Amino acid sequence: MKSRKAYSLQDNNSFFIDTVCSEIYFPASLDDLSALPDLSTRPFYILGDGSNTLFIDEQAPIIIKPNFTGITVTENDSAFILEVGASENWHDLVTYCVDQGMPGLENLVLIPGSVGAAPVQNIGAYGVELADYCQSVTWYDFNTQRLVVLDKQACQFSYRDSAFKQALYNKGLIISIKLYLPKYWQATLNYQGLDTLPENVTSKQVMDTVIAMRQAKLPEPKVLPNAGSFFKNPLVSPSVLQQLQGQYNNVPYYQQSSAQVKLAAAWLIEQAGLKGYRQSGVGVHDNQALVLINYQQATGRQVLALAKHVQACVKEKFNTLLQPEVKMVTVQGEKIFDDLDDLCLKQ
């Protein structure tokens, strides 16, 4: 198996953080997977395209960077069924499907990252999420050293969450995903910006509209290093929404169930006066307040300091804790804390 020592990850994370791992492994086959070192006692991190990861320290843990490629397409009377290797690029997959006349994923175009990362956080945009089309995930179990096919139910998808972040966390590796794209297709146009498209719109037109909307708001990581939305949109009770509506006109929200509404984190950050705010080479994006940008080759700690500031200001103003969506990785591995102040770092 291909592996390297003392490997710089600067070109492997979209914040462009300069960090070095002691070892990196690039498994590309089942044999490679069984040849991985025993990681049960050493911190490690599974890295896809690095577009949703913030490396905090100058050193990174051991990295596993899977290299499973390939797309196979089969079809039956009602659907196209695709088996896609985890290391394929998500955006390229979407454009391939639309160009080949297999609609469904068009609202998810331009989401950065690898196919294998898509189920982990159940990627979503413009009213569609991966769970709508993912039939199963093939996963390598570190413990048994076997492949397991997890059906949709076993994946436990919810908003930016799945079993891969919960019970299966760090217990194995996603190898491929199976997508089920029904031939009877109807565009999903309920999101603002798509709702004015005509009913007979094609999937290519939807895709082009989403591309234009994303490009207008979301910065290109190669130009302005970032990891997309830094925080999740918070789920709150209807009474919290009502309070806000008493103070502000046009509070954006998405009804989830009678018990919960989703607020727009970007709106909360903007109302807290932080849109365009900058400190120590990092800042809140001028066009989308949910995106943090590494403007001047700042360190991971400087990005984290800004994220803590944003979280604290929103908490103070709205009594709502924004939970990070980006994965935060120290030399000791990924650190999962909702309140960033609890993310104690060794000096």
CB of 48 to ligand EPU, least distance (A): 14
The b/e string for 81-116 (b: 16+ C-beta within 10 A; e otherwise) is bbbbbbbbbbbebbbbbbeeebbbbbbbbbbbbbbb
96's enclosing H/E stretch is: helix 90-99
Decide whether 336 or 345 has the Cβ nearer to ligand EPU.
336
Cα separation, 106 vs 102, whole angstroms: 10
The verdict on whether 160 is a catalytic residue reads yes
Q: Are 137 and 178 in contact (CB under 8 A)?
A: yes
The verdict on whether 325 is a catalytic residue reads yes
Decide whether 160 or 178 has the Cβ nearer to ligand EPU.
160
Q: Which of 37, 33, 226 is nearest to 148 (CA)?
A: 33
The verdict on whether 129 is a catalytic residue reads no
Q: What is the CA radius of gyration of the chain?
A: 20
**165 φ, ψ (degrees, to nearest 5):** -95, -10
CB of 263 to ligand EPU, least distance (A): 9
Total count of residues recorded for the chain: 347
Q: Which of 3, 162, 203, 229 is catalytic?
A: 229
60's enclosing H/E stretch is: strand 59-60
* Residue 31 DSSP one-character state: H
Cα separation, 235 vs 158, whole angstroms: 12
Q: How many CB atoms lie within 10 A of CB 161?
A: 15
CB of 250 to ligand EPU, least distance (A): 8
Residues contributing to the site for ligand EPU (CB under 6 A): 125-126, 217-218, 228-229, 232-233, 252, 264, 266-267, 270, 275, 288-290, 325
Is 275 strand, coil or helix?
coil
Nearest residue to ligand EPU, using CB? 228
CB of 156 to ligand EPU, least distance (A): 18
Decide whether 80 or 231 has the Cβ nearer to ligand EPU.
231
Decide whether 68 or 230 has the Cβ nearer to ligand EPU.
230
Q: Which of 114, 160, 176, 203 is catalytic?
A: 160
CB of 89 to ligand EPU, least distance (A): 16
Decide whether 30 or 197 has the Cβ nearer to ligand EPU.
197
The residues that are catalytic are 160, 229, 325
